[in-house]
Amino acid sequence: MTATTERPETTLDPDLLVDGSMLIGGEWVPSSGGETIDVVNPATVQVLARVPRGNAADVDAAVRAAEQAFPAWRDLDATSRGRLLFRWADLIEQHGTALDQLESQEVGRPSWGPPPMAGQLRFIAGQADKVQGLSLPTYSPDQLGLTLREPYGVVGAIIPWNAPGPMFATEVGAAIAAGNTIVIKPAEDAPLTPLALAKLALEAGIPPGVVNVVTGYGGEAGAAIPAHPSIRRMGFTGSPQTGSLIMKACADNLVPLHLELGGKSPQVVFPDADLDAAVPAMVMGITLNTGQICAAGSRVVCLRSVHDELVDRLAAQMQRVRVGAWHEPVNMGPLISERQHQRVLGYIDLGREAGAEVVTGGGVPAGYDTGYFVEPTLFDNVAPDMRIAQEEIFGPVLSVIAVDDEAEAIEVANGTEYGLVASVWTNDVGTAVRMSRRLQAGQVAVNSPLGAGVIGGPFGGYKHSGFGRTMGADSVLEWTQVKTVSMRAAVPPVPRTRTPEDD
Ligand code: NAP
Ligand code: MG
């Protein structure tokens, strides 16, 4: 691993930086409690901005604003709703560099170039006027049977900090394209990109109250959203533990939801894999965003015959990963927070204590006592039941598990509670087909680490990785409910009541 040592200065576009306020009903407001939360750059631990510490009263105000905005937004024709989303996407593209800098500084990642949000929104905007119902058969030629797909009303969403821009665009875009109005809470660690995107949504002409952003802590602002009596549907992205709490709140409130939760994604490597291509991709798959990606391929499940060469190559590749702050030519930044730093280092200790071998990495890089940096870490001799092989670490920690044959590879790959993404590295089409069918995951990627690259691929989990699918061609439909309409040309004759004369 190569470490850089310079300490960068903060550079944020004042046009996009929202400092000290959140968006309710088209107004930038403080929280009713008046308190704020510092948003920190995890590379320098500098405060970037402050956001309101929203509470249940703020969520209530946001829900009321969303309720007021709903009838006009629902009744706006779908083509016009789509056009406003396209305009929003154009503004995001125009501010692409500034948005990338903002997100990279609050999350702590190096630049990714133009952000994906504009493309995501255009894909969604194109669906707005393709929400269709059915015509249904009837018993009589005088009758029509139809289904209508209608928005739920005011919906809620809660998103995590690891990719706040894309999460915001996906949840908000699909929900409002369907005609809903939304109250969304970003994570306290990375709320600035969501606020900037909301600002651009207003500028694009999306009416006040359609998109409301309440910042704050999960247990306060977050918990108030699924518990609010006027919320009609929820989307949640985050950890399984919080997902379970949200689902309980939704159960109490009889609110349907989708959950996008974590992963412990396997990378299954067969001896015929092209290791020249696979190894850099696998290392990228666990170091991108410092391993803080739900889809990160965090377990290598390899056939024993390829094990030694693979481990040597993975270690060499990991040592080439440059670590540093966002503005430097680096591959990997710090973890998001002190809490995550402690958590990831704690898992590295757990792995050592359980008897796994640290091949490379295993601690804080030299010269990095400021910021939440950790080395890309490779564990070998990992047993499938070790905690580092079962639990989501959410850091750049890769565990290698050797297996004897394909059957054992499937058993180990499927042997966690998660099922988000599974990768297979092979040049044999038969192996690829069998594995694609047998792996329990919402996405299977052959010769690719994260399952990306498919346009409109539905994204979501099996098992404890959640349920519901986002990002696909049906993502707007997820935010609609179906109404059956039965329509007669005339009031049908009612059967005559029997009278005494009939007998
Ligand atoms: P988290 O702790 O579950 O937090 C996610 C969001 O929920 C944050 O906005 C958080 O707010 C909020 N929250 C926390 N407690 C809450 C409560 N009691 N009621 C309502 N909201 C609450 O997850 P995280 O650690 O930030 O994010 C990492 C997790 O997200 C990982 O497990 C990762 O795999 C998963 N993830 C999944 C996907 C996917 O698409 N499947 C994508 C990205 C991330 P605060 O943080 O502000 O308190
Ligand atoms: Mg931060």
Residues 47 and 128 in one domain: yes
Residues 35 and 162 in one domain: yes
pLDDT tens sequence across 26-35:
999 999 999 9
Residues 278 and 254 in one domain: no
Neighbours of 117 (CB within 10 A): 27
Residues 218 and 304 in one domain: no
Q: What is the mean pLDDT of the chain?
A: 95
Residue 501 has pLDDT above 50, yes or no: yes
pLDDT of residue 453: 78
Catalytic residue from among 294, 302, 375, 478: 294
Q: Is 200 exposed, middle or buried (0-12, 13-18, 19+ CB in 10 A)?
A: buried
Closest CA relative to residue 102, chosen from 193, 188, 197: 193
For atom 48 of ligand 1, the residue with the nearest CA is: 218
Instruction: State the distance from the centre of ligand 2 to the C-alpha of 348, rounded, in angstroms.
Output: 23
Instruction: State the distance from the centre of ligand 2 to the C-alpha of 452, rounded, in angstroms.
Output: 26
Instruction: State the distance from the centre of ligand 2 to the C-alpha of 50, rounded, in angstroms.
Output: 11
Between 11 and 362, name the one with better pLDDT.
362
- Pocket test of ligand 1: the residue of 294, 339, 340, 342 to mutate, having most ligand atoms within 8 Å of its CB, is 294
Q: Which residues contact 346 (CB under 8 A, 6 or more apart)?
A: none
Judge whether 260 counts as a catalytic residue: yes
Measure Cα distances from 378 to 317, 421, 481 in Å. Answer: 10, 20, 47
Measure Cα distances from 306 to 74, 312, 385, 403, 422 in Å. Answer: 57, 10, 22, 10, 19
Residues 477 and 422 in one domain: no
DSSP string, 1-35: -EE----PPP---TTT---S-EEETTEEE--TT--
**Mean pLDDT of all residues in 279-304:** 97
**CATH number of the domain where residue 333 is located:** 3.40.309.10
Query: Residues 406, 428: contact at Cβ < 8 Å?
Result: no
pLDDT of residue 112: 86
What is the extent of the structural domain holding 213? 10-261+465-485
pLDDT of residue 490: 81
For atom 35 of ligand 1, the residue with the nearest CA is: 238
Residue 5 has pLDDT above 50, yes or no: no
pLDDT tens sequence across 209-241:
999 999 999 999 999 999 999 999 999 999 999
90 inside domain: yes
Residues 283 and 225 in one domain: no
Closest CA relative to residue 475, chosen from 172, 115, 72: 172
Closest ligand relative to 259 C-alpha: 1
Measure Cα distances from 503 to 494, 498, 500 in Å. Answer: 20, 9, 6
Q: Could you give phi then psi for residue 200, rounded to 5 degrees?
A: -70, -30
Residue 410 has pLDDT above 60, yes or no: yes
5 inside domain: no
pLDDT of residue 292: 97
Q: End of a domain among 446, 475, 496?
A: 446
What pLDDT band is residue 6 in, cutting at 50, 70 and 90?
low
For atom 19 of ligand 1, the residue with the nearest CA is: 223
Residues 186 and 327 in one domain: no
Q: Could you give phi then psi for residue 70, rounded to 5 degrees?
A: -60, -50
Query: Residues 448, 242: contact at Cβ < 8 Å?
Result: no
**CATH number of the domain where residue 217 is located:** 3.40.605.10
Between 44 and 173, name the one with better pLDDT.
173
Atom of ligand 1 nearest to the CA of 460: 41
Q: What angle do CA 311, 316, 320 make, to 5 degrees?
A: 140
What pLDDT band is residue 327 in, cutting at 50, 70 and 90?
confident
Between 225 and 13, name the one with better pLDDT.
225
For atom 16 of ligand 1, the residue with the nearest CA is: 218
Residue 3 has pLDDT above 90, yes or no: no
Query: Residues 347, 393: contact at Cβ < 8 Å?
Result: yes
Judge whether 250 counts as a catalytic residue: no
What pLDDT band is residue 113 in, cutting at 50, 70 and 90?
confident
459 inside domain: no
pLDDT tens sequence across 337-391:
999 999 999 999 999 999 999 999 999 999 888 899 999 999 999 999 999 999 9
309 inside domain: yes
- DSSP alpha helix (H) spans, 289-420: 304-319, 338-354, 387-390, 406-413
Instruction: State the distance from the centre of ligand 1 to the C-alpha of 218, rounded, in angstroms.
Output: 8
The region of weakest confidence among 14-18, 39-43, 149-153 is 14-18
Instruction: State the distance from the centre of ligand 1 to the C-alpha of 110, rounded, in angstroms.
Output: 22
Between 279 and 492, name the one with better pLDDT.
279
491 inside domain: no
380 inside domain: yes
**Rounded CA separation 104/83 (Å):** 29
Residues 241 and 322 in one domain: no
**Total count of domains within the chain:** 2
Closest ligand relative to 238 C-alpha: 1
The region of weakest confidence among 3-7, 108-112, 377-381 is 3-7
**Rounded CA separation 105/118 (Å):** 20
Residues 257 and 280 in one domain: no
What pLDDT band is residue 151 in, cutting at 50, 70 and 90?
very high
Residues with CB under 5 A from ligand 2 (ion): 40, 189
Residues 207 and 336 in one domain: no
At residue 80, the 3 state secondary structure works out as helix
**Mean pLDDT of all residues in 455-460:** 92
- Enumerate residues lining ligand 1, CB below 6 A: 158-162, 185, 187-188, 217-219, 222-223, 237-239, 242, 245-246, 260-263, 294, 392, 394, 420, 461, 466
Instruction: State the distance from the centre of ligand 2 to the C-alpha of 237, rounded, in angstroms.
Output: 18
pLDDT of residue 450: 78
